[in-house]
Amino acid sequence: MNYDWPTFFASIGGSAVVGLGAAYAIVQTFFKKKIEAEVQSKYDEALANLNAKNSQELECFKAAYKKSLDENQIRFSKWHDAQAEVIREMYGMLSELKIATTLLVDSIYPPNIDAEKIDKNNMDRYLEAYKSSNLFYHKNKILFPEEHVNKLDALFKKVLLSSTGHMMNKAMQKSQPEASELHFKIAKENAHSVGNILDDLRKEFRAILNGEEVQNAE
């Protein structure tokens, strides 16, 4: 029996090449999957660590934010309490000042009454009311909103104009009756303005105390 030895060895060699190629492909696939698995594992681990870190940082941020809110709430509460106390005290003083100013400039004395003595008592009451309220206002000015500062400044200015008009009226009653009458009118007009400003402030002060939005009067 004659064998075609060249063909035989060629076929064996070809099979060996195929076998080696298949083995290489298997080994290549194995290592590829192993590498992919290791990479995926490291990726998953890194992602988990990143998520844990982000979660921790987020929780820290939430805690810091809540602490900041709580501190701001406490500060706001203390500010509002202080402001409310000052507003209540200020309104009481301004009410007394309004009454004292009105009595000073608008008193009509019946006959046989010691007008000079009454006028002196009214002036003493006015001076005390003005001094105490003006001092209290300037000591606590920082607690008032800017629009209220403007109105309070205007109120105290009107009070001074009213009392000045009253004093000029008294000084000129005999020597310059016409000028005296003019100053009397100025005193009354400014005293009336004090009342109007105080009415506006009363509404706005009440809104602040009730936590409502302040509607400024035009």
- Report the distance separating Cα 218 and Cα 208, nearest Å: 18
> 112 pLDDT exceeds 60?
no
Q: Are 86 and 143 in contact (CB under 8 A)?
A: yes
> 157 pLDDT exceeds 90?
yes
> 2 pLDDT exceeds 90?
no
> 111 pLDDT exceeds 70?
no
Alpha helices in 107-144 (DSSP H): 115-139
Mean pLDDT throughout 92-97? 93
> 109 pLDDT exceeds 60?
no
In-domain check, residue 115: yes
Q: Are 115 and 109 in contact (CB under 8 A)?
A: yes
Task: Output the six-digit token pair for 51.
Answer: 């998520």
> 187 pLDDT exceeds 90?
no
- pLDDT value for 50: 72
Tens of pLDDT, residue by residue over 16-26, are: 544 555 555 66
Single-letter amino acid code for the residue at 104 = L
Mean pLDDT score across all residues of the chain? 77
Mean pLDDT throughout 91-112? 81
In angstroms, the Cα distances linking 8 to 1, 3, 20, 94, 161 are 14, 8, 18, 124, 131
Domain range for 181: 76-209
In-domain check, residue 80: yes
Residue 108, SS3 per DSSP: coil
In-domain check, residue 95: yes
Q: How many CB atoms lie within 10 A of CB 59?
A: 10
- Report the distance separating Cα 80 and Cα 75, nearest Å: 9
> 173 pLDDT exceeds 80?
no
- Report the distance separating Cα 91 and Cα 18, nearest Å: 105
Single-letter amino acid code for the residue at 169 = N
- Report the distance separating Cα 126 and Cα 99, nearest Å: 8
> 61 pLDDT exceeds 60?
no
Single-letter amino acid code for the residue at 55 = S
In-domain check, residue 54: no
Element (H, E) at 187: helix 177-209
- pLDDT value for 49: 76
- pLDDT value for 218: 46
Domain CATH number, residue 125: 1.20.1440
> 72 pLDDT exceeds 70?
no
- pLDDT value for 98: 92
> 176 pLDDT exceeds 60?
yes
Under the banding of pLDDT at 50, 70 and 90, the label for residue 5 is very low
In-domain check, residue 218: no
Under the banding of pLDDT at 50, 70 and 90, the label for residue 28 is low
Q: How many residues does the chain have?
A: 218
In-domain check, residue 41: no
Number of domains within the chain = 1
Cβ neighbours for 122, distance < 8 A, ≥ 6 positions apart: 100, 103, 104, 107
> 96 pLDDT exceeds 90?
yes
